[in-house]
Amino acid sequence: MTRREPHGFISDWPMDHSGSRPARLLVVGDIAWDVIVRPSADLAWGADVMGHVDLMPGGSAANVAVWARRLGAEAALVGLVGEDRLGGLMRAHLRDEGVGDLVRAVPGIETMRIGVVVRPDAEHAFVTDHSHPPRLTADDLPASLLDGADAVFVNGYAVFMAGSAAFAAALLAEARRRGVMVAFDPSSFSLIRAYGAARLLAEIGRLDILLANRDEARALAPGSPETALLDQASVVVVKRGAEGATALHDGPPVSVAAEPIAVVDTTGAGDAFDAAFLVEYLAHRDLARALAVANRLGGHVASRLGAQER
């Protein structure tokens, strides 16, 4: 893991890590190119509509790693790309961001592309190309990756693509044995429902931090209050978009409002939130402070185009 200076536009943010070494974060999960389609009006099936189409780096885990590094953390990303043109471009991009040393190119798969359709109101829907999905295995996650790490972050997309969380079981067990914080974001309420919430939680095991948006929390605990998820994690962070976020733990809930923004594209805003929350929480163990910084970075990303917009 390599140290880089915090990203320039974040230098005036309320993050004071003086006197403490930078957080060391291991991120495991998906890497993709986002094909962002912004129609100017309703789609006209069988005809045309004007709009914008952009190709931008993304993938939920990659977004977390990139933003954690930009915030001054030491971040390493474990993930797969294809041995193709898009894979080469992505590896170059991630190396430039300081998080790409562990990203592996695999023959016979295609680098993931995700179609992101953004409505005029900035809400989005994803179409993920799983023609030749990259599937992490236990061989990609040796215990040595945890050396020096403060936290390991895994997301649901990696589990859904692999078909189970078995690939991460040994790594997460070793993290718990070493006292390395384990954080998980389930990624998608629709994929949680298709996979099975009980199965997902049983496979991923006990967590230190669960980061989920409101719909994902409901999918993980259908018919139960969000506090039921405290059986799974010591801290449950529920992202509520424009309403801010709440952290549930063994004390009173901690809620922090979000600042008003002009929303452009919410793609990757939750990933940026995760990165900021983890970096700040690792530094200070202050839930309110971590939520405030996370809300701010999530809002920053939602107010611009693309998950890794500078």
pLDDT of residue 122: 73
Say if CB 274 and CB 294 are below 8 A apart: yes
Q: What is the pLDDT of residue 92?
A: 97
| DSSP sequence for 171-216 | HHHHHHHHT-EEEEE---HHHHHHH-HHHHHHHH--EEEEEEEHHH
Can you tell me the distance from the alpha carbon of 232 to that of 190, in angstroms, rounded to the nearest whole number?
20
Can you list the pairs that 118-127 forms with residues at least 24 positions away whose Cβ atoms lie under 8 Å?
Answer: 118/36, 118/37, 118/38, 118/265, 118/267, 119/39, 120/39, 120/40, 120/41, 121/263, 122/263, 122/264, 122/265, 122/266, 122/302, 123/266, 124/265, 124/266, 124/267, 126/188
For residues 148-153, average pLDDT: 98
User: What residues contact residue 65 under an 8 Å CB cut-off, 6+ apart?
Assistant: 25, 27, 75, 76, 77, 94, 97, 99, 275
Look at 4-13, 25-34, 87-96 and tell me which has the smallest mean pLDDT: 4-13
Residue 202, both tokens: 């049983």
For 120-138, how does the pLDDT look when each residue is reduced to its tens digit (9 = 90+)? 777 778 887 766 778 999 9
Query: 25 with 16: CB under 8 angstroms?
Result: no
From 199, 206, 254, select the one nearest 229 (Cα to Cα): 206
Mean pLDDT of the chain: 92
What tokens appear for 46 in the block? 């069988």
Summarize pLDDT for 200-249 with one digit per residue, the tens. Answer: 999 999 999 999 999 999 999 999 999 999 999 999 999 999 999 999 99
Residue 172 within any structural domain of the chain: yes
CATH of the domain at 96: 3.40.1190.20
Identity of the amino acid at 252: P
**Within a domain: 220:** yes
Task: Indicate whether 4 belongs to any domain.
Answer: no
Per the structure, the count of domains in the chain is: 1
Distance in angstroms (rounded) separating the CA atoms of residues 139 and 192 = 25
Give domain status of residue 9, yes or no. no
Tell me the pLDDT tens digit for each residue of 72-83: 999 999 999 999
pLDDT of 128? 78
Res. 276: pLDDT tops 90? yes
Domain limits at 233?
20-31+57-110+134-302
Q: Examine residue 285 and state whether it is found in any structural domain, yes or no.
A: yes
Any domain includes 203: yes
Residue 142 lies in a domain: yes
pTM of the model: 0.91
* CA-based nearest residue to 172, from 161, 192, 191, 158: 158
In a domain, 46, yes or no: no
